[in-house]
Structure 1
Amino acid sequence: MESFKNDTYIVLDLPKKIADKVKKIRSEYSYTMSFPVEITVAGSSGIGVLQYEQNPSNVYTTIKDIALRTKPIKGIFGEVSSFPNTDVFFFTLQDEISIRDFHEELVKSNIKFLENPFPYKPHCTLCNNSSLVDIETQELLSKEISEEFILDTVSVYSLERKPNDNIDVSLLERVNLSGK
């Protein structure tokens, strides 16, 4: 099997009901995202994208092994926040422990990742918009989604950047969290 050719991320998928609410908020702030609504566990912070020169089937086997040991994760969004010195706004999570534990299992695994300069912060991106005025920023910071949700699938996505600034997203693998 060939190695990875594009930036490849590992994410926890949000359930459709919650994802639709996040999409609604994103649309209010003209944010179009390449990925579906998710919480990235490898690729954006903590550890970088998958190193290209490794066998994808070995990576998928390792992810499946971790998923078999990981029970579905209960989540509730916290407040909206932003990363320092950026225009990236996101939902925090009220309890990050289980997501951080999953991230740490990936870090300790035999999967190879590129380095990433940012510490790991579980989050769900809402907006990356430098043209927000103060009132829009305040409205965004006050957004809430208060229902509990279950993160029970992990997906591997590849992003292929096209010359015309378009990005093709490919789902490479998806497995259920099924630990007890």
Structure 2
Amino acid sequence: MFEHPAYLVLELPEFIGTRVLDIRRRYDPHLAAFPTEITVAGSSGIGTIAPDQDARVVYQALSQVASEHLPISSRFVGISRFATGPVVWLQPADPGPFIAIQQALVATGIHFNTHKFSYTPHCSLSSCNLVPSVIEALLREDFPQEAFELSVLALYKVVNGQAGLVERFHPGVQA
């Protein structure tokens, strides 16, 4: 079922997502084609969903995690850059709820591919190699700082460099 890389993300509400997209369009048009979100499985900590698992079992587990851990209230407090690569990202105020949801995903028994980086909750603004002056400009960008609520856990797969929605999981809705 999961033959293509499958990521689990918390989708940003539209009023925040449109502002994130605006920044992405200016600094990384390729990334602007991807959903505006905070990844909880696939980009750090735990990897993508491992292949050869029963989709019904995985979906039930994801539905349970969404019901137990969503919604999450958050806001962004800064723009940072990973020391290990080109990714520039928005930092949520409190990483705790994101770490808790990732730990809950691991506890379900879903198998995930390994990932070499520890988990840092974030929303990517750019993942391409930018020249230093452009990186500095991006780090000084005005970004959305108002509070928002994350209430959707979404499963996306990436095929040929394109992200496609597979399923959304909402609190209180069992698969």
TM-score scaled by length of structure 1:
0.89
Cα distance in 1 for residues equivalent to 2:30 and 2:101: 27
Tell me by how many angstroms 1:169 deviates: 2.4
Contact 2:38 2:121 in 1 (8 A): yes
Cα distance in 2 for residues equivalent to 1:113 and 1:86: 23
Tell me which residue corresponds to 2:164.
170
Cα distance in 1 for residues equivalent to 2:42 and 2:130: 26
AA matched with 1:51: A
Cα distance in 2 for residues equivalent to 1:131 and 1:70: 36
Structure 1 residue ranges, 4+ long, deviating more than 6 angstroms after superposition: none
Write out aligned runs for 1:1-180 (5 A).
Answer: 3-33=1-31, 34-134=33-133, 136-143=134-141, 144-161=143-160, 167-178=161-172
Cα distance in 1 for residues equivalent to 2:76 and 2:127: 18
Tell me by how many angstroms 1:71 deviates: 3.2
AA matched with 1:99: F
Contact 1:79 1:92 in 2 (8 A): yes
Unaligned runs of 5+ in 2: none
Contact 2:40 2:101 in 1 (8 A): yes
Tell me which residue corresponds to 1:164.
none
Instruction: Provide the aligned C-alpha RMSD in A.
Output: 1.5
SS at match of 1:112: coil
SS at match of 1:110: coil
Alpha-carbon deviations, 1:21-56, whole Å to 9, x = none? Answer: 000011111332253100000001000000111011
Q: Which moved more, 1:35-44 or 1:24-33?
A: 24-33
Change (3 A) 1:132 1:178: farther
Cα distance in 2 for residues equivalent to 1:146 and 1:20: 13
Tell me by how many angstroms 1:155 deviates: 0.3
Contact 2:70 2:150 in 1 (8 A): no
AA matched with 2:163: V
AA matched with 1:148: A
- Percent identity between the two aligned chains: 32
Cα distance in 2 for residues equivalent to 1:79 and 1:159: 28
Tell me by how many angstroms 1:127 deviates: 0.6
Alpha-carbon deviations, 1:7-26, whole Å to 9, x = none? Answer: 00000000011000000011
Aligned residues: 171
TM-score scaled by length of structure 2:
0.92
Cα distance in 2 for residues equivalent to 1:68 and 1:130: 38
